[in-house]
A and B are shown apart, each in its own frame.
Chain A
Amino acid sequence: MKNKIFLISLLLFFSFCFVVLFKGLNNSNVYVPKKTTEKTLVNFVAKDFFTEKEIYFDEIFIDSEFYILNIWSSWCLPCRKEHPKLMQLSKNKSLKLIGLNYRDNKKNAKKFINKFGNPYSSILSDRDGTIAIEWGAYGVPETTIIDRNKKILKKFIGPLDDKSIKEINLIIK
């Protein structure tokens, strides 16, 4: 009798294991980072790239309908590739581009801007990479589009391409 109870409870235990493992099989084990849409940008203070003055984040987002935050660096090759796209976007009146110069050498960054043009209405410098972390960045380049209320509408990880430009144009319409 005792044996039977033992057997049945063991069998039940193993059935439970079976069910759990069975369900586990169907779970994908690929990590998907949580989407950052529907979130607002956190407060931050950053230094202006040219003047080295400290800017509070409210001072930046005042007069435009949409903003594009772009993380870039002179040492980052894909940034160089996406730069013409940014120049193209900067012609749009309802947009303001804000660049975050990520872990860069100021001299090289200036050279980069002089050579390829400056699409940004303001550039912030992030020498130690902490602001990028506060923004929740994955790497360089990365582009985030936010609205007047600082709500994050869409995030593009990696360099912008024609498809993402189209998407941006759709969002700001």
Chain B
Amino acid sequence: MLANQIGQYSLILGLFFSILIIPVSIKNFNKNDQIIDSRIISISFLQFFLVLVSFCGLILSFINSDFSNQTVYNNSHTTKPLFYKISGTWGNHEGSLLLWLLVLTLFIFLFLIKSSKQPKKYRILTLIFQQIIIIGFFLFILITSNPFNYLFPVPNEGLGLNPILQDPALAIHPPILYLGYVGSSIILSSSLAATVQKYISKDWAKHIKIWILVSWIFLTLGIMLGSIWAYYELGWGGFWFWDPVENVSLMPWLCLTALLHCILVLEKKLLLTSWVIILSIATFTLSMSGTFLVRSGILNSIHTFANDPGRGIFILVFLFILIFISLVIFFSFHKKNHSKNIKIYWLSKESSILINNWFMMYFLSVILIGTVYPIFLEVLSSEKISVGPPFYNKLIIPFLIIFLIFMSVGPNLNWIKSEFKKIDNKNIIIFIISLVISFLIIIQSDSKSLINTILISSAFYLFFVTVKDFFSKKYKNYSQKISHLGFSLLILSILLNNFFSSEIITNLKVGEKFSFQENHITFESIENKESKNYKSIIGHFRIEDKKGSLIKLKPELRIYDYPFTITSEADIKTTIYSDKFLVMNLVKGNEYFNIRYQLKPFMIWIWISTLIIVIGGIFSLFNKTYEK
């Protein structure tokens, strides 16, 4: 009760302070000194603190199961374990927006502290742009999705959290993803401010690079966690489904990755300035559109929680206002630096990064079209279509091959100009080796085609080249090498996983047995179990593979009461070579269970390689020495 009230009022007070910042900063902006008014920093801390109080208030309401709060009533239940009561705070629309706001205010405060070496006017302008976004979110929360709505009479019991959201990976997935999304808002504000102040320089690049890196790291981690959740919890036996909501997190990632590469060029050579600004705008716009698509219910997806058009309209209007402001600023303040006229040679690091950008933009537009086209088509012609994996595979795979080859060449080029050296013998040997290996691999698989061979061999080539570079004696840019190694490993494991996954679906009852690729699977028994907030049926399976080693798998069916849902928990046996994945489902009114058994090679490597990519990013945060 009390926590609820405190939360509500501190949120309103927070809005007051965030509006107050604007006149104070404008006044300070016009003063001719180099010191930022300390009041501004205090107010922005206050703003963050009040949102924090409000967020804690919401968490407390969840912990105490205070059902006079509508959000708690809709998303919690007394029998839920404490951990999921807390994670339920951001597992719903209202709470997750409050988390957005919390991160927004935290980031601008950190930005103010960390940027003390930057020019004052640039800092204040960044703050003002950021405040516009923050106020927008404040209003959005208070008007359309207040997490502190009061219910009277107070219900005795809540409706419960959607069971598929009750998963450890998903408990931390939204906060991490949001850190990435929100970080991109700082990048937007900062690059707009830098454009207005004509402060796009090497210094600026050096300073904003850290923010780009941080958001990129969080975004990558966030996407990975989401994917892990989909693999373990949804029980569809895959890690990426090209679901609109997944795409929506991948698009800012592609943009941010391109931006990360561009900012390096800007930092060294003061080139690609327009690219940097446009990518900054695009990254945040795409993150916001992500929020719009997920939250407005315009898309049909497993992630759509809220179905309130009023909210959608608010985000939509807000999003387009931001786009308009950004575009107008970009076009009226950004002047290209014609005087310098640096020539870009085609065989140089700059041009390879530019090529990287074009590829990123291509992948981005494929995904964007695949995600948004169905909506446009439905509005314009009221025809409903859905775009699935074949679309993405067809459009992305051929270009991926060229992209991988460029990626193996690019990082080894020099800045400004590389000589077209004699083609290295080593590289030819590596290329031939990868061709042979992939040929041998493809012959083993079911999908023998030329394009697959080329695809795998280019992935192998990239992998070998990055491994070779990793141990070479030249200058060492560890962060780049680690990340690229991770990426090549990721592509390789995804491809091998795709080609060699096999599955069988069958109906079994207790005591029956079936064989699949020399594996013998026996359904031994079922067991009923009661847990705190669900009942479960556990199947005991014994799997004997061709070498005679035994493993036991226990897939589970969980029957939740609040709200009534049945989820199936896959049991997965992970080894470094492959995953054995078993999931069972009820067949209505029958003693049979529907069993799906999958062999997924190299599954764990997908997560490991993503982690390696992230580690590369973290390395670069602490790496103060740059290649010259």
Q: Which residues of A does B touch, CB under 8 Å? A: 3-4, 6-7, 10-11, 14-15, 17-18, 20-27, 29, 31, 75, 77
In whole Å, how far is B288's beta carbon from the nearest beta carbon of chain A?
Answer: 12
A27 with B327: in contact, given A21-B316, A22-B313, A22-B316 (CB under 8 Å)? no
Q: Does B565 contact A (CB under 8 A)?
A: no
Q: Is the CB of A29 within 8 A of B298?
A: yes
**Nearest Cβ distance between residue A9 and chain B, in whole angstroms?**
11
Interface pair A7/B379, CB less than 8 Å apart: no
Q: How many residues of B contact A (CB 8 A)?
A: 23
Q: Check B298 against A24 for contact (C-beta < 8 Å).
A: yes
**In the complex, chain B residues 274-307 whose Cβ is within 8 Å of any chain A Cβ:** 292, 296-300
- Residues of A near B328 (CB, < 8 A) are 7
A55 CB to nearest chain B CB (Å): 31
A27 touches B379 (CB 8 A): yes
B297 to A, closest residue via Cβ: A29
| Closest A residue, CB atoms, query B292 | A21
**Whole-angstrom distance from the CB of A56 to the nearest CB of chain B?**
34
| Inter-chain contact A29/B300, CB cutoff 8 Å | yes
B331 close to A (CB within 8 Å): yes
Main secondary structure of the interface of B (DSSP, over half): helix
Within 8 A of A (CB), among B337-387: 375-376, 378-380, 384
Decide if B378 touches A27 in the complex (CB within 8 Å): yes
Given contacts A18-B316, A29-B300, 10 further A-B contacts (CB under 8 A): A6-B331, A7-B328, A11-B327, A14-B324, A24-B375, A24-B379, A25-B316, A29-B297, A29-B298, A31-B384
Pairs A–B under 8 Å by Cβ, sample size 6 = A7-B328, A14-B323, A14-B327, A22-B313, A24-B376, A25-B312
Contact status of A20 and B316, CB under 8 A, knowing A7-B331, A29-B298: no
A140 to B328, CA, bound (A): 60
Asked if B388 CB lies within 8 Å of chain A CBs, one says no
| B residues in contact with A15, CB < 8 Å | 320
Give, as a whole number of angstroms, the nearest-CB distance from B360 to chain A: 20
Contact between chains at B378 and A24 (CB < 8 Å): yes
For residue B398, CB closer than 8 A to chain A, the reply is no
The distance in angstroms between the C-alpha atoms of A64 and B384, with both chains bound, is: 41
| Cβ A21 vs Cβ B375 within 8 A | yes
In the complex, B155 has a CB within 8 A of chain A: no
Q: How far is the CA of A6 from the CA of B336 in the complex (A)?
A: 15
Name the distance in Å between A34's Cβ and chain B's nearest Cβ. Answer: 12
Closest to B324 in A: A11
Cβ of B589 within 8 Å of any chain A Cβ, yes or no, is: yes
Tell me which residues across on chain A come within 8 A of B323, comparing CB atoms: 14
Query: Which chain A residue shows the least CB distance to B299?
Result: A29
Given the known A-B contacts A7-B331, A11-B324, are A26 and B309 also in contact in the complex, defined by CB atoms under 8 Å? yes
Structural contact, B298 and A25, CB atoms closer than 8 A: yes
Could you say which of A10, A25, A75 contacts B589, with CB atoms under 8 Å apart? A75
**Smallest CB separation, B306 vs chain A (Å):** 12
Q: Which residues of A contact B299 (CB under 8 A)?
A: 29
Out of A11, A20, A77, name the residue touching B380 (CB < 8 Å).
A20
- Smallest CB separation, B382 vs chain A (Å): 8
- Closest Cβ of chain B: how far from A173's Cβ, in Å? 37
Q: Which of A10, A23, A31 contacts B379 (CB 8 A)?
A: A23
Which of B327, B376, B384 is close to A20, meaning CB atoms less than 8 Å apart? B376
Chain A residues near B379: list those with CB within 8 A: 20-21, 23-24, 27
Residue of B whose beta carbon sits closest to that of A31? B384
B197, chain A: closest CB distance, angstroms = 19
B residues in contact with A10, CB < 8 Å: 327
A78 to chain B, nearest CB (A): 11
Give Cα A18–Cα B324 distance, bound, in whole angstroms. 11
| Interfacial chain B residues near A29, Cβ < 8 Å | 297-300
CB neighbours of B309 from chain A (8 A)? 25-26
Closest to A10 in B: B327
Residue of A with least CB distance to B375? A24
Closest residue on chain B to residue A19 by CB atoms: B379
Taking the closest CB of chain A, its distance from the CB of B248, in whole angstroms, is: 14
B375 touches A20 (CB 8 A): yes
Q: Decide: A3 and B331 in contact? CB cutoff 8 A.
A: yes
Q: Hey, which chain A residues are within 8 Å of B589, CB to CB?
A: 75, 77
Whole-angstrom CA separation of A17 from B379 in the bound complex: 11
Alpha-carbon gap, A15 to B321, bound state (A): 10
| B296 vs chain A, min Cβ distance (A) | 6
Give the distance in Å from the alpha carbon of A25 to the alpha carbon of B297 in the complex: 8
Measured CB to CB, the closest approach of chain B to A95, in angstroms, equals 31
Quick one: CB contact mask for B245-275 with A, threshold 8 Å, 1 for yes? 0000000000000000000000000000000
A132 CA / B481 CA spacing, docked (Å):
61
Q: Which residue of chain A lies nearest to B328 when distances are taken between CB atoms in the complex?
A: A7
Q: Let me know if B300 and A14 touch, CB within 8 A.
A: no
Q: With a CB–CB cut-off of 8 A, which chain A residues contact B296?
A: 25
How distant is the Cα of A122 from the Cα of B252 in the complex, in angstroms?
63
In the bound complex, what is the Cα–Cα distance between A157 and B618 (angstroms)? 58
Instruction: Give the distance to chain A from B483, nearest Cβ to Cβ, in Å.
Output: 33
